[in-house]
Structure 1
Amino acid sequence: MHETQLRELTGRKVLVTGGAGLIGSRIAACLRQVGARPVLLCTLDAYPRNTYRDLFGIDPSDRSVIVGNIQNPDVVRTAVAESDYVIHAAALADVAACSRKPMAAIHTNVTGTQVLLDAVAACERVRRLVFISSASVYGNGSPEDWARPCEEYRTVRKLLEAVYGRVPAQFHEHTQLRPMSVYANTKAWGETQTALTLGTAGTSYTVVRYFSVYGEPQVVKEKSHSWVVAWFATRAALGLPLHLNGGGHQIRDLVHVDDVAAATVRALVAPRAHNETVNVGTGTPTSIRTVAELVAEQYPQTRFVETPMPPGDPLGGYAATHRMEAVLGWRPTITVREGVARYADWLGRTPEAIPAWLRAESEAVTA
């Protein structure tokens, strides 16, 4: 994609729902870099208030920040009516939290999404909506997905099996969706509903399926098993062991949050992204155990402990990136090794990112 296409965003108002969170705040920063005017709609209740200001760079008193709920039709209609583009990043995105409280996931990820889609469909000003989905909609894929890499890459099959214990699944956008968790199921619904609602209204949309997002300033949440890089680095920094669920053989395609933000902004204006679904990943399979080993390079005294697989945690796979490259004219720039090192360096310079409850666990272990 030519950088000149990004100039279409100069001076344009872009509504980012969930815009005060990790991903939303990085998208907002990227939008400002290309001259757009982001407006952030968020409840500001996913983290302590100081996290938004001190780590994510969000000032709740700023005029560009709307503190409100995506389920409130009046708030949403007003925000949408003044927007040229919309990025829908608001969601209860913690897999474990969605499993514990499915109704909360439905209220935010289903009801909230429909409220937004209705407002966008009724607004002639909006040029395109980008719906943030997730690679979790693929689940473990199908037998065909596991077989395809074997056919395409026969010469490296034995190497893949030796490294990962199996041939990792490669997920293409046409892969059948097999969600394994409440969160994944809400995202699969959101994809279909976006196409149904906006397709009928004639409003352009793009669905972007994020693979495993990581990177500074991501911070861990209690009772969560998401965000493996942040979890491993934070525990290692405190001298706590790293839990390898199921032995750490799950495969993830780890994509840095800065790359995710860049891809999402491009999806707003790329002509070929009209009514498309696009993976956003690196195309590189990485095992959870490999992530642990990369973290251990930054914290040499790190210990590993094997633990059971949590419910809804897929074996996973990695992204087919052909469509992403063709549609967006773009590829990620940050490798996993570089990204893990960057996160560890940031954590060392930002000790306040380590939550008090995890410090207390560390102190209890060493007492």
Structure 2
Amino acid sequence: MVHDTQLKELAGRTVLVTGGAGLIGSRITNYLRQVGARPIALCTLDAYPRNTYRELFGVDPSDPDVIVGDVQNPAAVKRVVAEADYVIHAAALADVAACTRKPMAAIHNNVTGTQVLLDAVAACERIRRLVFVSSASVYGNGNPDDWARPCDEYRSMRALLEAFYGRVPAQFHEQAPLRPMSVYANTKAWGETQAALTLGAVGTSYTIVRYFSVYGDPQVVKQNSHSWVVAWFATRAALGLPLHLNGGGHQVRDLVHVDDIAAATVRALLAPRAHNETINIGTGTPTSIRKVAELVAARYPGSQLVETPMPPGDPLGGYAATHRMESVLGWRPTITVEKGVARYADWLSRTPAAIPGWLRSESEAASA
């Protein structure tokens, strides 16, 4: 049970969570239950095999508050919105590679579905606030001129960062121009603007949360995807497969544990200063992909690191400016990347069934 006086207003309230049966959505709904709210999960249940939802995410499809439906369906969305006091819009085709391969699917899920939901929320006077789940991918690689400032302090910091990371990682501030580099990022940038336009026009409160790189058990890898680096590296290492460092692993990510993501998102529903705000949800700590591989390899002695080409739409990345998050939400993440990677590796060793059969087949073929 979560004991937080800031969240007592949610007790007895109904919160609609679109995408509420997925990794992030299921953690959010669980957190909401712990603070005494009633979460309704609207989800298609088609992103993973059905047993994944029950066995790994703890979602019971027979639960009357788990609604199997699509945010693109206006009638279904209108019905569930009418029951809610708050809404968290987390439903999306969230795989960068899948959005790149199938841009129309990204548009249907992330653009059409978002507009259907926004229309229903705008028409429902009961809704106190909508939290729109966006992504740090909207920043792209940031502005390369941000660090080109003529003062000794910045020159010194730049030299230290270049020595450590091989380049200067960008720090992303909420007021920075958006520079999406992928179909997925572009749909999220559109959703942010559209949430402000649609809900601002009727005076419904909204908050945009930009998640940085979410990871943590029970995250499971998807075929032909390059997202979810901790899960990919740990799963491959557990099978004795090499860890692929796309582009050499020099990309930087701000890795945020899914438990911290859930806590921040629920706080964004209530925080008075979050009204019509955009907030980064990150740790403020840059971690290179190579560093993640090294942390995983330390848990699996003998792991091999192999450099591979950079996939399309994969940004060099950066890390979050967290001042606004801390001041608006009154909160900071609690799980370090070192602790989170260790937790994931321990979970995977206890839950070998989470390793998909197609990846086991790849391992068997490689060792044949």
TM range (shorter): over 0.9
Query: What is the distance in 2 between the residues matched to 1:35 and 1:91?
Result: 26
Query: What is the distance in 2 between the residues matched to 1:243 and 1:149?
Result: 38
Give yes or no for contact 1:20–1:56 (8 Å, CA) kept in 2: yes
Answer yes or no: is 1:326 the counterpart of 2:327.
Answer: yes
1:158 CA displacement:
2.6
Give yes or no for contact 1:146–1:170 (8 Å, CA) kept in 2: no
Letter matched to residue 10 of structure 2: L
- The residue that corresponds to 1:365 in the other structure is 366
1:5 CA displacement:
2.4
1:287 CA displacement:
0.2
Number of corresponding residues = 366
Query: What is the distance in 2 between the residues matched to 1:257 and 1:107?
Result: 26
Letter matched to residue 160 of structure 1: L
Letter matched to residue 321 of structure 1: T
Question: SS at 2:145's partner residue?
Answer: helix
Question: SS at 2:201's partner residue?
Answer: helix
Query: What is the distance in 2 between the residues matched to 1:59 and 1:301?
Result: 39
Query: What is the distance in 2 between the residues matched to 1:79 and 1:244?
Result: 43
| Root-mean-square deviation over aligned CA pairs | 1.4
Matches within 5 A, 1:1-367: 3-147=4-148, 154-367=155-368
Give yes or no for contact 2:239–2:363 (8 Å, CA) kept in 1: yes
Question: SS at 1:130's partner residue?
Answer: strand
String of CA shifts for 1:272-326, please: whole Å, max 9, x gaps. 0000000000000000000000000100110011000000000000000000001
Query: What is the distance in 1 between the residues matched to 2:252 and 2:201?
Result: 37
Give yes or no for contact 2:147–2:158 (8 Å, CA) kept in 1: no
Give yes or no for contact 1:149–1:170 (8 Å, CA) kept in 2: no
Give yes or no for contact 1:132–1:207 (8 Å, CA) kept in 2: yes
1:153 CA displacement:
5.2
Letter matched to residue 69 of structure 2: G
Letter matched to residue 346 of structure 1: W
1:146 CA displacement:
4.0
Question: SS at 1:145's partner residue?
Answer: coil
Give yes or no for contact 2:149–2:155 (8 Å, CA) kept in 1: no
- Cα distance change, pair 22–240 in 1 and its aligned pair in 2 (3 A): same
1:160 CA displacement:
1.4
Query: What is the distance in 2 between the residues matched to 1:229 and 1:176?
Result: 29
Query: What is the distance in 2 between the residues matched to 1:214 and 1:174?
Result: 25
1:191 CA displacement:
0.1
Give yes or no for contact 1:146–1:168 (8 Å, CA) kept in 2: no
Residue identity over aligned pairs, in percent, reads: 83
Question: SS at 2:146's partner residue?
Answer: helix
Query: What is the distance in 1 between the residues matched to 2:346 and 2:145?
Result: 40
1:142 CA displacement:
1.1
Letter matched to residue 286 of structure 2: P
- Cα distance change, pair 139–152 in 1 and its aligned pair in 2 (3 A): farther
Give yes or no for contact 1:145–1:171 (8 Å, CA) kept in 2: no
TM-score by length of 2: 0.97
Query: What is the distance in 2 between the residues matched to 1:92 and 1:229?
Result: 20
Structure 1 unmatched ranges of 5 or more:
none
